[in-house]
Structure 1
């Protein structure tokens, strides 16, 4: 590893027991790829093939060594107080062209540090929070309908009427409006998700 000078990192300044600190050497080989010459780990051979098509943010850094806080800060801009995630902001600003699919999905086989906060919407409408996708035959849990499509449409219509009546008595209630939108999106996802995540028809390219 590489030793960091005493004044070279803000977290080790004036802290007893941190007289010497080392950066651990990477366990995998890094090589330069593409015309941009970006270094990529041997962990990501397919990513290395398309580095010239990727925008890399080299200026991003953190002074926090705690994984939980650093992960939260990377996704929300705040180490401590929860804020909307960057994906939620993009969804809020750009929306989606397909109303049957969420505008922001999160590919996360395992829950990350800080959990769902890293893709949450906080004070933005709940419709802009991330939808977690996991590997396997059921990438979006609880999306398979349990009743017939016709019956479900009737149930959704009845629920929509009741929610609209409730919203009329509480105009501007963001949580209720987001919940209503979530029901509509979930219904559309039941039709769109199976096709969107069916990779059997994909070519190797």
Structure 2
């Protein structure tokens, strides 16, 4: 005899079935609501940079005010109109100024806190008071990723303080949308490879784990988390090959190294990150974040 509880359970499962089927591969590329001009995001988080008054935020009245108020300091660098748009850019960035017509500057940003920790968390998640998904997590959640053997969201050399992993976490979104941390110098992922096992042994281990998870999924239908666990193991195994191939910079020319400033001790660290980001974008990774901690 069908009970009321059985009826509610079966109808609920039927209602959720389309969603579960669609979420079988949470990182699969999704069709946006509107045609998109941009396919990738490379987010340069340069913490501890110079004042906006000396870089991209032109305030012509500040100079005249500073003459009458000792508490107001005028910009120490000159601004010049750049490109056909006449975008005002500091003389500190002559090379950036050459690309003025390709830039969009948002000078209306503000924050209601003076604390660096809170400001960094708010920048990445939109809220410093409550745990929220990061910008990269929302991007991959909404658009998916075109990379088959790499995560959709990768963060290179993130800072451990000022929010830490929360700056690239997925919060209440599934864990598959959180950022994967990679070191900036060697392009390595912590604990990616088990050095005690050969590749063949790891493949056998992965097959065994996936069979066990698949049987558990069949016994407990209606739980998409099992599929997510299976895919996370498979992705980790694929990354053992894809990560070294992607970050092997030996194939790059000397001209490319010079263009990214990799041969210069002052710029080699961040230049290497930028080159790694380009290679990740070419592989189809949707969201790549770089970090330069200038404090």
TM-score (norm 1): 0.73
Q: Deviations over 1:116-154 (max 9, x none)?
A: 101101111111101122222243222245222222111
Over alpha carbons, which structure has the higher Rg? 2
Instruction: Answer whether contact 1:125 1:174 (CA < 8 A) is retained.
Output: no
Q: Secondary structure at the match of 1:193?
A: helix
Query: What residue number does 2:214 align with?
Result: 164
Query: What residue number does 1:89 align with?
Result: 138
| 1:136-175 correspondence runs (5 A) | 136-146=185-195, 147-173=197-223
Q: Secondary structure at the match of 2:109?
A: coil
The 2-side partners of 1:29 and 1:115 are apart by: 34
Q: Deviations over 1:65-88 (max 9, x none)?
A: 111111111111111111111110
Q: Which has the higher helix share?
A: 2
Q: Secondary structure at the match of 1:155?
A: helix
> Residue 52 of structure 1: CA displacement?
4.0
| 1:1-205 correspondence runs (5 A) | 32=80, 34-35=82-83, 36=85, 37-39=87-89, 42=92, 50-108=99-157, 110-146=159-195, 147-173=197-223, 176-203=226-253, 204=256
Instruction: Answer whether contact 1:71 1:114 (CA < 8 A) is retained.
Output: yes
Larger RCO (alpha carbons 8 Å, 6+ apart):
2
Instruction: Answer whether contact 1:67 1:113 (CA < 8 A) is retained.
Output: yes
Change (3 A) 1:29 1:183: farther
Superposition RMSD in Å: 3.1
Gaps of 5+ in 2: 1-50, 52-70, 260-295
Gaps of 5+ in 1: 2-21
Instruction: Answer whether contact 1:88 1:128 (CA < 8 A) is retained.
Output: yes
The 1-side partners of 2:222 and 2:95 are apart by: 47
Comparing 73-82 with 176-185, which one deviates more in the overlay?
A: 176-185
> Residue 60 of structure 1: CA displacement?
2.7
The 2-side partners of 1:139 and 1:88 are apart by: 21
The 2-side partners of 1:92 and 1:41 are apart by: 39
> Residue 172 of structure 1: CA displacement?
4.9
Change (3 A) 1:173 1:201: same
Q: Secondary structure at the match of 2:131?
A: coil
Query: What residue number does 2:285 align with?
Result: none
